[in-house]
């Protein structure tokens, strides 16, 4: 049912990514990022979108802000939105960013003191076709430090789900172990991280904006109670809960 994206649109998106890419800062810009224990860091944010099943345009845009290092909920915002852009692999940001930005702006307007010092994004940052994934996009447009955490490996820039990749995953002995995701040209675009002792499938961490890869990986690890970092996990859970309460299952086994 989803019509293929208009011809020129993807090209336009591509050039915009290339343009905005120049504004990404892939190093630590905040003092807390240089601290081994991130002293000075008090608030971490997480964003996500959850969809109503069967509808790929209506979704709940979610923002949560948690305390650090306690990871307790300080702020939460759920909002029903209607997406206009289609999902095109490599261009996720054009579909989701506008609504995540709006959530950050509502927070800035209502509770500026709760503005997160870093935002975890469900998706990739520099680990991307043109080194400008969702986490970079949101980072540049919001100006906030962002970290991209993807649950699945994006096969780009010469990174493949090869036997070698599988064996590297098997070699991750404990939570905190990781290995670099290196492009064909030799650049480290991100890291596969075993985020806890109990999880075996790694998460893929990459720089979004205003943070180094090293700090991004350390911070991700320190925010993981389970496989997915708590800010993203909370955003995901709460957005689904929001949909569950307002859009009860259309069908169930009760009929006959």
Partner DNA sequence: GCGACAG
Partner DNA sequence: ATCTTGTCGC
According to the binding rule CB under 7 A, does residue 166 interact with DNA? Answer: no
| Pairing outcome for strands 203-209 and 146-150 | antiparallel
Q: Does 155 bind DNA (CB under 7 A)?
A: yes
Please identify which residue in 64, 107, 153, 211 interacts with DNA, judged by CB under 7 A.
Answer: 153
- Single out the residue of 21, 58, 165, 240 in contact with DNA (rule: CB under 7 A): 240
> Among 66, 99, 122, 219, which residue interacts with DNA (rule: CB under 7 A)?
122
How many CB atoms neighbour CB 200 within 10 A? 11
Q: Which residues lie closer than 8 Å to 48 by C-beta, 6 or more apart? A: 62, 122, 232, 235, 236, 239
- C-alpha 256/C-alpha 254 separation (Å) is 7
Told to check if 15 binds DNA by CB under 7 A, we report: no
At 63 the three-state DSSP class reads strand
Q: For residues 82 and 98, what is the distance between their CA atoms, to the nearest angstrom? A: 11
**DSSP letter assigned to residue 205:** E
Number of residues that bind DNA (CB under 7 A): 31
User: In this chain, which of 24, 41, 44, 49 binds DNA, going by CB under 7 A?
Assistant: 49
Cβ neighbors of 235 (< 8 A, separation 6 or more) are 46, 47, 48, 62, 63, 64, 122
Answer yes or no whether residue 152 interacts with DNA by CB under 7 A: yes
CA distance between the termini of the chain: 30
Query: Closest approach of Cβ 42 to DNA, in Å?
Result: 26
User: Binding of DNA at residue 46 (CB under 7 A)?
Assistant: no
Kindly state the smallest distance separating residue 65's Cβ from DNA, in Å: 19
Contacting DNA (CB under 7 A), which of 27, 151, 201, 225?
Answer: 151
Instruction: Give least dist CB 48 to DNA, A.
Output: 6
Query: Collapsing DSSP states into helix, strand and coil, what is residue 229?
Result: coil
Residue 68 binds DNA, judged by CB under 7 A: no
- Number of alpha carbons in the 13 Å side-chain half-sphere of residue 97: 21
* Of 45-53, 100-108, 162-170, 186-194: span binding DNA (CB under 7 A): 45-53
69-108: which residues touch DNA (CB under 7 A)? 87, 89-93
* Binding positions for DNA, rule: CB under 7 A: 48-51, 53-54, 56, 87, 89-93, 122-124, 128, 133-135, 148, 150-156, 161, 236, 240
């Amino acid at each position: 049912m989803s019509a293929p994206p208009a011809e020129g649109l993807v090209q336009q998106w591509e050039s915009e990514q290339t343009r905005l890419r120049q504004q990404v800062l892939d190093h630590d810009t905040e003092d807390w990022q240089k601290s081994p224990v991130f002293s000075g860091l008090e608030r971490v944010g997480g964003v996500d979108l959850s969809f109503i099943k069967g509808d790929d345009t209506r979704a709940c845009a979610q923002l949560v802000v948690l305390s650090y290092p306690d990871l307790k909920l300080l702020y939460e915002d759920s909002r029903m939105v209607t997406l206009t852009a289609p999902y095109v692999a490599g261009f996720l940001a054009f579909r989701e960013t506008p609504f995540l930005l709006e959530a950050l702006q509502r927070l800035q307007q209502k509770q500026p003191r709760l503005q997160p010092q870093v935002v975890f994004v469900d998706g990739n940052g520099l680990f991307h076709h043109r080194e400008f994934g969702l986490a970079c996009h949101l980072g540049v447009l919001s100006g906030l430090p962002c970290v991209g955490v993807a649950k699945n490996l994006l096969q780009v820039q010469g990174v493949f789900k090869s036997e070698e990749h599988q064996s590297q995953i098997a070699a991750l002995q404990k939570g905190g172990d990781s290995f670099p995701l290196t492009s064909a040209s030799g650049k480290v675009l991100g890291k596969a991280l075993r985020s806890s002792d109990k999880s075996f499938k790694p998460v893929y961490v990459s720089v979004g904006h205003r943070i180094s890869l090293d700090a991004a990986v350390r911070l991700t690890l320190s925010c993981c109670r389970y496989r997915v970092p708590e800010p993203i996990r909370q955003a995901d859970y709460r957005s689904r809960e929001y949909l569950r309460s307002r859009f009860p299952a259309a069908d169930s086994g009760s009929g006959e």
